[in-house]
Each structure stands twice: as structure tokens, then as C-alpha cells.
């Protein structure tokens, strides 16, 4: 490596780095393990943040179909990110940012831009060192800010994937450069073979061997398992994978993701991590509030059924933040929330009443494009006419506006220009600043914007405040040319952007609880702070249920 390249990585090591890699199979829950570890460290008084490195070539997941990787999570600073960032925020109650999610696409984009600017001074630009240096720089960016004692970096994908190789190499180099300040937690699977009646450690051994071939010795192994890992198995794994016995951590399947920090604490994952990073372990994690949340989650006093209407319901991860927000809202309202997942394509004017029967609340989900939109509009009609508490989010709010225009005001051809470009009554229209944009990636109205709520409205009483800030992800908006007619007929704009007048919230006065939000409240609900709109929605559903 040329000396100038090496030099830029001599750095202050006040920040410690924990890498979380995955082996054997995907979907083992690296995100939840990372978030749980961060939670335990935070509960001991350390400041921790989590970063996700995704080995795919898309610059960000904003342009990805939710069927590929689930929901696209949006940060305050307007980054479209992997859904794991949602878990990080829900567990830590600390906002993430652009720097918390990096993809191979972003890495290459940045290296290629530097090459074009002449930064590399005529050198041949290569995966090693240029790509790996860029990866290391992105990891250390969070550390350099000096805000965090510990940066946890989750490497997406599974060890052995061709596309993760530069990331594992970057981890190897950082382990070498940082010695005691950098460790690797490897998450593996210990499958149970029913025919043999045994847990099998061989896949774990192989996966560690694969890491070793790339020069990385994991310090801690988190073993996903359906059954107890007894001492014999732990000893075997320790011996064949060169890790200490206490660094073989059992990660049993849990009833709820919110149990995982407690299970990890029982296994002393946090203690082992701190020991390996030469940090004090005396403090005990203060998890009182977390445990209180779990107690309420497991001992609900009532139950409600919420219909979640969307076009991606086959893959529940597409609505991860919404389903978690419903859980948080339920805990705050002391109610268990059963979600009935309803495919918007299946709803029409004939079957809406039978398909939506028995719901205590209806949530129409965000989305893009025409597929399933008529089912969403029919669903809104059912909720409005039958006084079922209704929460419409983004496209769900836009559908509520269209439905009201058609069936209350009587503008039968009302629509959004997203679906009918030359629509005669465009009650939802493309935002003017969007009209000149042709690129699809990262160009929507994204991230946090302020919103003023009408005093005395349902939405302001839900928030207990008239000034809020919420996150956005859209190109279309309520068409203010029609506002007067809407308000005359009883649909009020009760939330507006103070600078532009853009309608952020609509509600129907003459309905027990009917709120449409142009923003995404689900991105801001956390265990520590269940989102007020979801709490109020669940409370309204409870009330509806009692009346039945
Ligand atoms: N498709 C709509 C828009 O772009 C709604 C987007 C969303 O639901 N996130 O405005």
C-alpha cells in the first residue's frame, strides 16, 4: 500500500469498533443482535451507534422494490436506508443518519468520483486498497465525530458471498490496525437435526473456517439455536473455533424481538464485548424501562384487531416500522394489537364490507403506483362510512382525500396524477419542485420537515402539541386549489407545513377518529417513545371495540 494511503488511517482510537458478521444462512437476525448489544451498552452508560454496510450495488434501497429487502427506512436527514436502521432507532431511541447506512454502490460512486477529480494522482484504482480504504473511512466516520464510545458495524449478507469480500478485508485490516479496540462478533446457526435428535456445530465450524481463510478470527460467536446449547456443545464450539468458552453465546429463538436484549444480557454478551475491548464492566445495565415495556407487552389488559391494508402484505417486512409502531402503541394503551394483513388488490366495492368486518381500526399503508389503489380507496370508504378509526399514511392519506372527493364532494373523476397524468380533478398532484426531476434515486421529498397542527384538532390532541416534525418520502401532495371545498364538506387540513402551506394532515370532523398523514409517523416510534398518533389510534380502536 502506498505510504500516503496508509497514513490517512493512523487515527485516534478513543472509539471502539465492534463488527457483526453472519455465517451459515441469511436472516439470522444480525440487525436485532446488533441493536440488542447496542441497547445493553447504552444501558450501561456507553454511547453506542450502529451502522449497516450493505454489499449490494444499488446506491441506496430507495429504488428497491419492497419485495427485495422489505421496507425502506427514512432518517431525519433524508437518507433512504435499510430497515435494520429502524430497529436501531427503536431499540436505542437515538436517531440515525446518512452515515449509518453504506452500500457498495455508495462506496464505488465515491471512489469513482474521487478518481475523476484526480484525487488518486495517476494511480491504478483497485479494490484493494481504494475500495477497502473507502469502506474503512465510512466506518470510522462515525467514530471520528467523537460522539460515540462504541460503533457497531453490521456487515450485510453472509460470509463467503463474493460481494462481501472487500468488507471482510476491511474488517481484517481494522482488526490489525486497532488491536484491542476492534472485535468481531460472528452470528451463526446451530441447527437441530430432528432425525438425529441433535444440535449440529459443523456449519458453525465451517463458517468460522471461511472467516479464517480471509484472515479474520472472530472474538465472539452468537449461535442461533432452537434448543439449549449445553456445556459440551459450547466447549466443542469454543475448541474448534478458537474462541473462549464465555464467548460462545447462545441466541435462542425469542417470542418477541424486544426479549433479545434481556436474553443477551443473561448470556453476558455485553460483558464479554466490554472485556475484549478493555473497557470497564463494573456498571450494571439499567433496563428498568425496557423491562416495564416487556411486562406491559406480555400482560395486556385488552385486545384490538387492526386491518393493515397494503399491496406488499405477503412480505411483512415491507411494513416493518408500521407493525412495530402498532406494537408500541398497543403497549402504551395496554392492549394487544392483532394485525389482520389485508391485500389491497383483493378489496373491491362488493366485498369490502365482508372482508373488513370485525376490524376495530383500519390502517391504509403507504405505497407507489396503481396496483391495489382502488382497493385502498374502497377500504377508506368503508372506514369513513362505518365510523371505524382510520389512519392513512402517505399514499393512504392521499387515498382518503380521493375517496372524500369522489363520494362526499361528488367529484367522481377525482384522482392523483400519479395514476392518471391528465386527470380532470387532480386532488393529489405532483409537487411543483418534483416536476423537473427525472432521476428516481434519492429525489423525493425526503426526511424531517416541520408541521403546524390546528389547535383543538384530533391530531393536535393526539400529539399534545401544535408543533411537530415528521419524516417524509413522497412526490405528490394535496392540491391546495381544492382545499376550500374539502373543508366546506368536513375534511379539514389540520396539519400544514409552515413555510409552504403543504397539507400534511387531513381529518374528518364528523367521524370518531379519521386521520390521514402525508408524513410517516412509523419512522419515529420507539420502545422508549411510542408514537402519539399510533397510541391515539389504538385508543380509538379500543373505544370502538367497547361500543360494539
Ligand atoms: N406515491 C405517493 C407519492 O409519491 C405516496 C408515497 C408514499 O406512500 N410513501 O406521493
Q: What is the pLDDT of residues 285-306, one digit of tens each?
A: 999 999 999 999 999 999 999 9
pLDDT category at 179 given cuts 50, 70, 90 is: confident
Three-class secondary structure assignment of 444-488 = CEEEEEEEEECCCCHHHHHHCCCEEEEEEEECEEECHHHHHHHHH
Q: For a pocket test of ligand 1, which of 80, 344, 392, 394 has the largest count of ligand atoms closer than 8 A to its C-beta?
A: 394
pLDDT at position 7 is 40
- Whether 328 sits among the annotated catalytic residues: the reply is no
User: Mean of the per-residue pLDDT values for the chain?
Assistant: 94
Tell me the per-residue pLDDT of 43-76, one tens digit each, with 9 for 90 and over: 999 999 999 999 999 988 888 888 888 999 999 9
pLDDT tens-digit map of 196-248: 999 999 999 999 999 999 999 999 999 999 999 999 999 999 999 999 999 99
The whole-number pLDDT of residue 5 equals 42
Report whether 377 contacts 402 (CB < 8 A): yes
pTM of the model: 0.94
Residue 258: the pLDDT is: 98
Strand pairing category for 182-189 and 220-225: parallel
Read off the pLDDT of residues 446-483 as tens digits, 9 standing for 90 and up: 999 999 999 999 999 999 999 999 999 999 999 999 99
Is the distance from CB of 186 to CB of 159 less than 8 angstroms? yes
Ligand 1 atom closest to Cα of residue 520: 9
Expressed in angstroms and rounded, the spacing between residue 181 Cα and the centre of ligand 1 is: 43
Listed in sequence order, the residues at least 6 apart from 539 whose beta carbon sits closer than 8 Å to its beta carbon are: 333
d(CA 107, CA 56): 10
Active site includes 8? no
How far does the centroid of ligand 1 lie from the alpha carbon of residue 42, in Å?
35
* pLDDT above 80 (res 10): no
Give residue 418 CA to ligand 1 midpoint distance, Å.
Answer: 9
Measured in Å, residue 4 CA sits from the centre of ligand 1 at 46
Residue 161 CA neighbour count, 13 Å, CB half: 17
Residues in Cβ contact with 299 at an 8 Å cutoff, skipping those fewer than 6 apart? none
Q: Which helix (H) or strand (E) holds 364?
A: strand 361-364
CA of 261 to the centre of ligand 1 (A): 35
473 Cβ inside 6 Å of ligand 1: yes
Per the CB < 8 A criterion, the answer to whether 466 and 451 are in contact is no
Verify whether ligand 1 is closer than 6 Å to residue 307 (CB atom): no
Burial class (CB in 10 A: 0-12, 13-18, 19+), 398: buried
Q: Are 289 and 295 in contact (CB under 8 A)?
A: no
User: CA–CA separation, 523 vs 282, rounded Å?
Assistant: 35
Residues 8 and 133: beta-carbon distance below 8 Å:
yes
Question: Is 250 part of the annotated catalytic residue set?
Answer: no
The Cα 123–Cα 115 span in angstroms is: 9
- Regarding the beta carbon of 366 and ligand 1, being less than 6 Å apart is answered yes
Q: Is the CB of 74 under 6 A from ligand 1?
A: no
Taking CA atoms only, the protein residue closest to ligand 1 atom 6 is 474
User: Which pLDDT tens digit goes with each residue over 312-341?
Assistant: 999 999 999 999 999 999 999 999 999 999
Of all atoms in ligand 1, which is nearest to the CA of residue 396? 8
pLDDT band at 433 (very low <50, low <70, confident <90, very high): confident
Amino acid at each position: 500500500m502506498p505510504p500516503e494511503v496508509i497514513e490517512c488511517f493512523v487515527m485516534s482510537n478513543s472509539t471502539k469498533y465492534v463488527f457483526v458478521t453472519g455465517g451459515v444462512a441469511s436472516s439470522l437476525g444480525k440487525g436485532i443482535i446488533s441493536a440488542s448489544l447496542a441497547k445493553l451498552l447504552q444501558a450501561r452508560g456507553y454511547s453506542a451507534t450502529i451502522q449497516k454496510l450493505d454489499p449490494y450495488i444499488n446506491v441506496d434501497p430507495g429504488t428497491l422494490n419492497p419485495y427485495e429487502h422489505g421496507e425502506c427506512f427514512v432518517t431525519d436527514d433524508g437518507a433512504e436506508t435499510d430497515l435494520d436502521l429502524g430497529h436501531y432507532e427503536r431499540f436505542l431511541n437515538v436517531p440515525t443518519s446518512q452515515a449509518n447506512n453504506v452500500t457498495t454502490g455508495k462506496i464505488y460512486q465515491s471512489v469513482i468520483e474521487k478518481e475523476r477529480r484526480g484525487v488518486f494522482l495517476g494511480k491504478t484504482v483497485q479494490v484493494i486498497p481504494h475500495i477497502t480504504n473507502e469502506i474503512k473511512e465510512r466506518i470510522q466516520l462515525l467514530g471520528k465525530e467523537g460522539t460515540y464510545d462504541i460503533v457497531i458495524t453490521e456487515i450485510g449478507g453472509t460470509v463467503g458471498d463474493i460481494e462481501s469480500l472487500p468488507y471482510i478485508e476491511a474488517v481484517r485490516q481494522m482488526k490489525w490496525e486497532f488491536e484491542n479496540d476492534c472485535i468481531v462478533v460472528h452470528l451463526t446457526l446451530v441447527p437441530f437435526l430432528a432425525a438425529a435428535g441433535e444440535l449440529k456445530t459443523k456449519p458453525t465450524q465451517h463458517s468460522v473456517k471461511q472467516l479464517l481463510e480471509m484472515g479474520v478470527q472472530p472474538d465472539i460467536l452468537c449461535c442461533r439455536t432452537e434448543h439449549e446449547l449445553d456445556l459440551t456443545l459450547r466447549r466443542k464450539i469454543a475448541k474448534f473455533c478458537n474462541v473462549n468458552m464465555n464467548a460462545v453465546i447462545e441466541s435462542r429463538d425469542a417470542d418477541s424481538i424486544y426479549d433479545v436484549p434481556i436474553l443477551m444480557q443473561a448470556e453476558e454478551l455485553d460483558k464479554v464485548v466490554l472485556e475484549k475491548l478493555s473497557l470497564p464492566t463494573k456498571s450494571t445495565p439499567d433496563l428498568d424501562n425496557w423491562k416495564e415495556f416487556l411486562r406491559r407487552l406480555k400482560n395486556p389488559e385488552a385486545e384490538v384487531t387492526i386491518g393493515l391494508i397494503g399491496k406488499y402484505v405477503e412480505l411483512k417486512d415491507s411494513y416493518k416500522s408500521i407493525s412495530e409502531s402498532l406494537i408500541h402503541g398497543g403497549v402504551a394503551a395496554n392492549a394487544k394489537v392483532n394485525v389482520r394483513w389485508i391485500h389491497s388488490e383483493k378489496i373491491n366495492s362488493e366485498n369490502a364490507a365482508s372482508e373488513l368486518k370485525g376490524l376495530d381500526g383500519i390502517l391504509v399503508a403507504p405505497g407507489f403506483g396503481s396496483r391495489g389503489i382502488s382497493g385502498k380507496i374502497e377500504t377508506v370508504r368503508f372506514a369513513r362510512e362505518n365510523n371505524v378509526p382510520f389512519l392513512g399514511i402517505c399514499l393512504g392519506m392521499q387515498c382518503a382525500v380521493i375517496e372524500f372527493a369522489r363520494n362526499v364532494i361528488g367529484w367522481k373523476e377525482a384522482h392523483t396524477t400519479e395514476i392518471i397524468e391528465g386527470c380532470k380533478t387532480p386532488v393529489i398532484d405532483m409537487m411543483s419542485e418534483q416536476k423537473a426531476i427525472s432521476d428516481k434515486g434519492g429525489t423525493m421529498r425526503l426526511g424531517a420537515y416541520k408541521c403546524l397542527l390546528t389547535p383543538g384538532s384530533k391530531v393536535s390532541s393526539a400529539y399534545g402539541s401544535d408543533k411537530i416534525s415528521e419524516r417524509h418520502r413522497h412526490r405528490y401532495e394535496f392540491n391546495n386549489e381544492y382545499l376550500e371545498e374539502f373543508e366546506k364538506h368536513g375534511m379539514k387540513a389540520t396539519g400544514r407545513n409552515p413555510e409552504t402551506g403543504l397539507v400534511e394532515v387531513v381529518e374528518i370532523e364528523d367521524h370518531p377518529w379519521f386521520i390521514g398523514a402525508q408524513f410517516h409517523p412509523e419512522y419515529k416510534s420507539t420502545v422508549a417513545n411510542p408514537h402519539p398518533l399510533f397510541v391515539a389510534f389504538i385508543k380509538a380502536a379500543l373505544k370502538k371495540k367497547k361500543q360494539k
